Amino acid sequence: MNSAGSVPGTTPRTAAVKAAYSTMVRLVQSIGQVVHGKSDVIRLAVVALGARGHILLEDIPGVGKTTLARALARATGGKFRRIQFTSDLLPSDVIGVSVWNEDTRQFDFKPGPLFANVVLADEINRAAPRTQSSLLEAMSEGRVSVDHYTHTIEQPFLVLATQNPLEHFGTYPLPESQMDRFLLRLRLGYPSRYDERRVVMRGSQYDPVEEMQPAVSCAEVQQLQDTVCIVRVEESLLEYAERVIGETRRSPLLQLGVSPRGFQSWFRAAQARALSENRDYCVPDDFRELAVPALAHRLVLPGGSQGGYSDALSNGRAEAERILSGIVERVPVP
Amino acid sequence: MNLRFLTRLRGVRLTRDGWWFCMAGICLFFVALNSGNNLLYLLLSMLLSLMVASLLLAEASLRGVIPKRQPPPRLHAGVPFLMGIALRNEKQKLPSFSIEVEDLCDDKVVDKRCYFLKIPSGRTQQTAYRHSLPRRGRYVFSAFRISTKFPFALFRSSRYIEHRSEILVYPTLISLEHWPKALTSAVGDQSVMRLGRRGSFHALREYRQGDDPREIHWRSSARRQRLMVREHEVEAVQQVTLYVDNSLPIDKQHDPEELAKLEKVISWGASLGAFYLDHGYAVRLCVRSELPPLPLLWSPASLQKFLTTLALLPTVSPEVPFQRPPPVPRSAAVPVSDHGDSLVVIRSGAPVPREKHIGHVVEAS
Amino acid sequence: MRFAATHKAVSYLMVTTAFVMLMLTGELPLWLSLLVLGAMGGSYFFDPQQHPFMLGRAYNYSLYSVVALLTLLLLGNAASAEAFWDGGLRVLCILLLCKLWQRRHNGDYLQAYVISFVMLLGATFVESSMVYALLLFVYVVSVMWTLTLFHLRREMEENYLLKHLPGRHGQAAESERVEVERILNSRRVVGPPFLLTTAGAGLLTFLFALLLFVLLPRFHVTVDLPFHRRMLPSTGFSERLELGSHGLLRDNPRVVMRVELPGQSPPKTLRLRGVTFASYQNGRWSQHRVGEQPLSVQHGAVALALNVPESVRSRAQRAEIYLEPLDADALFTPSPGRALSLQVPESYGGLLGAQLGVTTDGQIIARGRRSPLHYSVLSLPEMPRESSSDDLALYRQLSPEMRSRLRTIALQVVGTTQGSAERAELLSGYLQTNYSYTTRLWKPSQSEPIFDFLESERRGHCEYFATALAVLLRSLDIPSRTVNGYLTAEWNSYGKFFVVRQQHAHSWVEALLPGQGWVVLDPTPPQSSAPRLPFLFKIRQLLDGLDMGFGKYVLEYDVGAQQRLTDRLSSLWPRNEPARSERAQTNSGEWRRLLPIALLLGGLGLGLLLLVRRLRRVELPMTRDVTEGRGLMKLALSTVRKRGFVRGPGETLKMLAQRLTDEGDPCAPSFAQLVEHYYAHRFGQLPLDRVEITRLMRELQAIPPQASSRPTRPVAMKSV
C-alpha cells in the first residue's frame, strides 16, 4: 500500500533533498581541491554550514585552520571577512561603530567586519572577554545591537573561529556561554605524509585559495539550510539522543552536562549530516558520529575546567572527549 | 537425568531446597521404576514439570528488569555511603517478584545485596545498599547481577546486566578535632570570608547564570537593556601552598604498609586543603608530577577540583620533582598577591623540597 | 487480600487436598478421617502466636515426646507390612495435626507441606481412580500458590528487608529492620490477578507433567516391594457360599471390574464366572478345585485348553477384563463359555509372583495376585460338552435324607415330565414364579436352611435360589453345581464396556444336560434394573467411562503402549517408511524400545540448550522495540555474531558493518547492504524490498563460518 508520496523522485521534498545534497557535494569537492586529505573535517564544516551553525577550529598553529576557513568562505561565494583577535581589540572593532554624520545630522552606523557571510575570527581567545562576548548576539541571533538600533546580518552567516589551545599566556579562555554557541568544534590534525609533501611542494608564492571560484551561491546555501529542517528524525533516535544528553548531565565526572541549546545543535547537525549523505531521514550514525564534535566542547569538568582548556593534571579537552566517548559507547543505539 | 549439569549453568544454581527436591525426585524415580506404578510416574513428571515451571517463572521474573545506580554526589574513601539502586520493571503486564540485585565493582561482586519483593509492571522501585570503598581513586561499576529464587526457591537464577558507572572516590577527610593547632593559628590569623567581591573594578560583562545578584551594575544594565555585572580583581588573600609528597621508592611501591602511609599523607593533604578552602584561603597544590600544577584554587566551589586531583594522584618515584607554581601573569583574570605563602609539607621524614619559603612543617601523625 | 491470610488459606487448600486424596483411598477408617478433617478445620482458626506457652521449649519437648510415644505405640508392634502401613498412616495424620496446630512460624508450614507430600505419595500407592488425577491437578495448582507465597514470605522474613536512612554529610548511614508484620498484612503484595496467573501456570505445569508422563521411559525393572495395594473386601462376591451369612448385597455400587468385548456387539447381560461349588452340606457349599493344574506364563500368554482344534479356536472371542483390587484368588471369565487362553501384560501387572492354576471345570485361580489387574480372556462361547464320570458323581452328591425329601418336592413340580432339560426348565421356572427375591435375612430354624426357604419362608436372595435349584436337580439325578460370579446389565455406552459393581454379585447354577453339555440356569427372579434417577445414572456412567479411560490409558501405560504411540507417530511421516522396514528386518524390537527414550532425551536436551542460551545472553536495557524489520536485523546480527562479531551497546549497525569491512570478512558487503535497507525502513519509513532482502540474507547465510577466532568485543570507538 504505497502512498503516492513515497514514490521516489516525484515530490518537492525529494527534489529539495537532491538539491541540498548536490550543494553539499559541490562545496566539499571545491574545498577539497585546496585543503588536502581532510575530507572528514571538510564534510563536517559543510554540515555545520548547512545547520546554520558556527565552527570552532581548534588546533596547533600551521595545520591549515585559516586555509580551511578561507576556502569555505570562497566556496560559498559570499562576502568574507577576517578579524584577527588581539588583546586590545574592542567590541566596536568587530561590530561597527556609530559615527556622527554632519550632513544628515545624525549617527550613521558603520558596520564592522562582522557584517559578512563568512567571518573568520582568528585566534579568538586572544581578545578580552568583552570583545569575545560581542560576538554572542551575532552568532546566536544573526543580528547586532548598537546603541538603540538593531542591525540584521544577512544570511547565510557563518562564524569560523580558530584558537590555539596550547598557548596560555595572554589568552582569555572562552566562557561556557560562548563555547555553547559553536555548533561544532573541529580539529584538523597533522596531514598525512603524502598530503604534507603536496602542500610543501606547491610553493609559497602561489595561494590556491585566491584562485578558487565560488562553487555555490548564497541562495543555494540558504536553500540548503532551509532543507535541513525537513529531515525526518525517528522517535527512537530522539530517545537515544535524550539518553546521551541525560547521561552527560548525570555523570559524576562532569560538573555541567549538555544544555538544551547543545541538544538542539546536535539535533540540527545530525539532520544536516543526513542530507550530506543524500537521505531525508536520520540514522543512528548521524548522531553517533557527531556526538563528540557537537557536544564535547559544551561539557564542563569539575572544578570549572572547561572541556576546551588544558588542565594541570590532564588535558581537559581530551578528558571531556574521553568521558563523552565513554558515555556514547555505553548508551545503546537503536 | 544428570542434575549436576543443571547446577553448572552460569546463571542457574540449585539451592539447598532444590537439592532436596531433586533427591526426592530421584528416589521417586527409582520407586516408580521398581513398582511400575504409573501414578508414581505421574507424580515424578509433576515434580519435573514443577522444576521446569520454576525455571521459566524465574526467567519471566528476571526479564525486562532494569537496574540503575544512583551514587551519592561525594564519596570519601573508607566512609560508608549509600548506593541507591533503582529497579525498573519494563514488562507490559507481569510484575516481578523477589529480585536480588548485586553490584559489580571492578568486575567483582560487591558483597551487599538489594532485595526487591515485588515490582509491579512499568514501575520503578528504589532501595540502597551500604558500602564503603577502601581506597581513593576511580572505581568502575561495570554491571549488575540480578538474581531470583522465585517462585519455589529451588533454583537461583541470575543474569548479568551491563550498566557502567564511574565513581570517583575522594581521599578520606580527617575531622577537625585532630587539627594541628599551630598551623591553623599561623596561617589563619587574618581570615577572609569570601573572595572576589572586593578589589578594584576590572570590567563589566553580561550577567551569567550563577553570578551574585549583588554584583549587578544597575546603571549600565538599564542602559544596555540587559543585565550587566561588575567584574572585580581578586584582592590579596592568604595563600597556602600544599606540597603533598606522593612518592615512594620503587622497591616499596607494592608494600602495603608504605602504601597505607602514603594514603594517609594524601588524606591529610585533602583534609587540610578542604579546611583552608572552606575558611577562605587560596590554596595551591603542588605534588610530584611532570604535569603543570593546578591553577590557584580560591573558593569552596573549587574544592571538588582539588579533591579530584588528589583522588587521581598516582604514586611516583622520589626522583620526580615537585611542581613549581608558575609565575602569575599580570594579565590573568584572577590576579592574586604572592605574599604570605605558607609551605606545608605533609610527610614524616620526607625530604623537604628545595624551596625558599618554608613556613611551617607539620608532621603528620 | 492480606498476604499472610492468603498464604494460610492456600496452604490449607494444599494440605487438605493431599489428605482428601489419602482419605478417598479408603485406607483410613471413616471415623479417623472425619476426626482429622475436623481437627484441621479447627486449627485454621487457631493462632499459636497468641498462646505464648506454645512457643516455649518445654511445650515443644513434651509434644515431641508424645508424638514419639504415639509413633512407638502405633508402629512398635506392627508385625506385618500391612500393620506397619496402617500405623504409618495414622502417624502421618498425627504429625500433620501437630504441625497445623503449631503454626508458629514459616518453617512449620514447610514441614506441613512435606507431610502433605508424603500423604500424596501414600495415596499414589493405593489409588487408581480418576478422582486421583483430578485431585492431583488441584494439588499442583495449590502447590504453585503455596510454594510461591511461602518463598516470598521466607525471603521477606529472613532476608534483606532493611531500610537505609541516608546519613548526615555523607557520613555513616544508618539501617533499621523493616516491620515484617506490616508487609505480611499488606494487601498490595498479592491479589486475585496473582492467584489467577499462578493458577494458569499451574494448569500449564500440569499439562506439561502429562506430556512428560507420556515421554518418560518405562523399563521392566521389577523388584518386589512390600508396597501393595490393599485388596477390596468383597461384600457381594465370595469364594465361600454359606446360606444366611450375607447381608445387603444390592447396595454397594463400588466398581470391581470393567469388561470390554472388542469386536462384538454387546449382549444384554454379561455373566462373569468366578468360583464353582460342588459339594453341599448343611447350607454350606464347599469349593472343590477339581483336577487343578499349575499354569505358567509364556510370552505373555497362558494356555488353558491345549487340545482344542484350530477350527474351533478360530471362533474364540476376546474379553478384556480390568479387575479392580478384589480380595479373591479367582480370575473371572465370561459365562457361558470355555476359556482357551489368558493374556497378561508384558510387565505381568498384578500377576507377578502369583501361582496360577486351572481346574477341570474351568476355574482360573491366581493365588497371591496383586491388583489392579488387566488380562484378556480368549474363550469359546459354549461350555465344555462333558466331564469325566468321577466328576459327575461329585455333582450328584447329596445326603440320602435330603435327596428323598427334595425328590418329593421336585417330583411335585415336574410331574410326569421325563427329559432332563425339560425338568430343569420346569424347576427353574417354578422357583422364579413362586418365590420372591429379598435381601432381608431370616433366621433358619433347622440345620438345613434350604428347606426353610423351600417350604416356609419362600423368599431369599440369589444364593438361596441357586442352591435350591442345584439340590433339586441333584435329587432328580441331574449333575449340577452352583457358580458365584457377577451378572451385569450395565453397559456403559460412553466407554463401550460393561461395568461390574459389588452389587452385581450373583449366584447361579450350571447343570449338565444330556446332549447339551453344561448349561447355565438362573432361577433367581429377574430384578427391575431401571435406574431410579436417570440423570444421575448418566453422570455416573460418564464418570465411569472417564475412570475406565484413566485406567486404560494412564495406569496401563507401559512400554508396549509407548511403542504403539511411537509407531503411530512415526507412521505420520511417510518418508520414514523404507528406513523403518529396513530396521524392522534387522532388529526392530530394540530400536523401537529405544526410540521413545531417544525422543525424550533429544527433546529435553534441546530444551536445556535453548534454556542455556537464553540464560547466557546478557540482556541490555532497551526501552522500545520496533517490531517490523527487527526480526530481519536480529537474524543478520546473529549470523554475524556466529562469525565472532558482537555488536557493542553503543555501536551502530553501520559501524559494525565498517568493522566487518576492516577485518576483511567476506560477509561485509551483504551485511552493509542489509543495514542500508534496514535503516531506510526503520528510520526513513520506506517499505522493505522483500525480494532484495531475502536475496541478501541468503547470501549472508551462505557464507561458511570461519574457523579462526575473532575479537568478540567491539574495538575502541573511532573518535572523529
* pLDDT recorded at residue A303: 54
**Contact assignment for B309 to A326 by CB distance below 8 Å:** no
Please say if the pLDDT value at position B297 is more than 90. Answer: no
Give the residues across from A82 on adjacent strands: A120
Query: Which residue of chain A has the CA closest to B305?
Result: A303
Interface of A with C in 16-55 (CB under 8 A): 40, 44
User: Within the 102-131 window of chain B, which residues sit less than 8 Å (CB to CB) from chain C?
Assistant: 113-115, 117-118, 127-130
Nearest Cβ partner of B203 from A87, A130, A252?
Answer: A130
Instruction: Tell me what ipTM this predicted complex has.
Output: 0.76
Candidates B241, B291, B296, B322: best to mutate against A (most CBs of A within 10 A) is: B291
Cα(A89)–Cα(A83) distance, rounded to whole angstroms?
10
Residue C10: per-residue pLDDT: 92
Please indicate whether, in this complex, the C-beta atoms of B117 and C172 are within 8 angstroms of each other.
Answer: no
Which residues does A304 contact at the CB level (< 8 Å), separation at least 6?
A255, B301, B302, B305
**Alpha carbon of B135: minimum distance to chain C alpha carbons (Å):** 16
- If 0-12 CB within 10 Å is exposed, 13-18 middle and 19+ buried, where does residue C252 land? middle
* CA nearest to A183, candidates A317, A4, A318, A56: A56
Interface with chain B: mutation pick from A313, A322, A331, highest number of B CBs within 10 Å: A313
Q: What does the alpha-carbon distance between residue C350 and residue C327 come to, in Å, rounded to a whole number?
A: 13
Pairwise CB contact (< 8 Å): C623 & A239: yes
Choose among C205, C216, C227: nearest Cβ to B35: C227
> Are B117 and C147 inside 8 Å of each other by CB?
no
C-alpha cell at A65: 585552520
For C65, phi then psi, to 5°, come to -65, -40
Sheet holding C279-281, edge to edge: C241-242, C284-286, C279-281
Using a 10 angstrom Cβ sphere, with 0-12 exposed, 13-18 middle and 19 or more buried, the burial of residue C436 is: exposed
When pLDDT is cut at 50, 70 and 90, the band that residue B300 belongs to is low
In 3D, which of C472, C25, C467, C431 has the Cα closest to residue C246? C467
3-state secondary structure C443-490: CCCCCCHHHHHHHHHCEECHHHHHHHHHHHHHHCCCCEEEEEEEEECC
In Å, how far are C463, C503, C518, C527 from C236, measured between CA atoms? 11, 6, 25, 16
Interface of A with B in 298-317 (CB under 8 A): 302-305, 310-314
Angle between the N-to-C axes of helices A39-50 and A218-228, in degrees from 0 to 180, rounded to the nearest 10: 80
> What integer pLDDT is reported at residue C542 of this predicted model?
82
Partners of residue C511 on adjacent β-strands = C480, C519
Is pLDDT of A12 > 80? no
Give, in degrees to the nearest 5, the angle at Cα C434 between C433 and C435: 100
- What's the pTM? 0.56
- CA of B98 to nearest chain C CA: how many angstroms apart? 7
Cα distances from A52 to residues A57, A264, B238, B253, C124, in angstroms, run 16, 12, 48, 55, 82
Neighbours of chain A (3+ CB pairs under 8 A): B, C
CB contact under 8 A, B71 and A252: yes
What's the rounded mean pLDDT across residues A68-94? 81
Q: Which of A299, A287, A289 is nearest to A324 (CA)?
A: A299
Length of chain C: 720
Count of CB atoms within 10 A of residue B202's CB?
15
* Element containing residue B101 per DSSP (H, E): strand B96-105
Asked whether A183 and A54 are in contact (CB, 8 A), the reply is: yes
**DSSP symbol at B156:** E
- Which of A281, A292, A331 is closest, CB to CB, to C650? A331
Q: Does any CB of chain C come closer than 8 Å to the CB of residue B74?
A: yes
Determine phi and psi for A124, rounding to 5 degrees.
-60, -25
What's residue C719's pLDDT? Answer: 35
pLDDT higher than 50, residue B137 = yes
Helix/strand number for chain A, H first, E second = 13, 9
Mind listing the pLDDT tens digit for each residue in B33-91? Answer: 777 677 888 888 999 999 888 888 888 888 888 888 888 878 888 888 888 889 888 88
Q: Specify the residue for cell string 497378561.
A: C344
In the block, residue with C-alpha cell 587540610: B272
Judged by CB atoms closer than 8 Å, whether chains meet at C152 and B97 is answered as yes
Contacts of A40 in chain C (CB under 8 A): 720
- Return the pLDDT at C19: 93
Q: CA A293, CA A307: separation in Å to the nearest integer?
A: 12
What confidence tens digit (pLDDT) does each residue in A188-202 have? 777 777 777 777 776
CB contact under 8 A, A313 and B305: no
Which residues of chain A make contact with C685, given a CB cutoff of 8 A? 232, 234, 281
List, for residues A239-297, the tens digit of each pLDDT value: 888 888 888 887 777 777 788 888 888 888 888 888 888 888 888 888 888 888 888 88
Chain A CB contacts of B203 under 8 Å are 128-130
C217 closest CA partner among C484, C566, C537, C669 = C566
Q: Which residue of C has its CA nearest to B52?
A: C205
Burial class (CB in 10 A: 0-12, 13-18, 19+), C14: buried
**Measured between alpha carbons, how far is C275 from C295 in angstroms, rounded to an integer?**
17
User: Can you list the residues of chain C whose pLDDT is less than 50?
Assistant: 167-173, 224-227, 247-248, 576-587, 616-628, 707-720
Neighbours of B (≥3 Cβ pairs closer than 8 A)?
A: A, C
Nearest to A72, CA basis, from A118, A41, A24: A118
Q: Do the chains contact at B203 and A128, CB–CB below 8 Å? A: yes
Residue C498 near residue C491, CB atoms below 8 Å: yes
Whole-number Å distance between alpha carbons of A306 and A297: 8
- Per the CB < 8 A criterion, the answer to whether C127 and C229 are in contact is no
CB contact under 8 A, B36 and C216: no
Decide: helix, strand or coil at residue C209.
helix
pLDDT recorded at residue C34: 93
Which segments within B120-198 are labelled E, that is strand? Answer: 124-131, 137-148, 155-169
Judge if the upstream peptide bond of residue B327 is cis by omega within 30 degrees of 0.
no
- The answer to whether B331 contacts A87, with C-beta atoms less than 8 Å apart, is yes
- The answer to whether C618 contacts chain A (CB < 8 Å) is no
Alpha-carbon span C582 to C596, nearest angstrom: 19
Q: What is the rounded average pLDDT for all residues in chain C? A: 77
Residue A9 has pLDDT above 50, yes or no: no
Sheet holding C505-513, edge to edge: C333-335, C270-277, C480-488, C505-513, C517-521
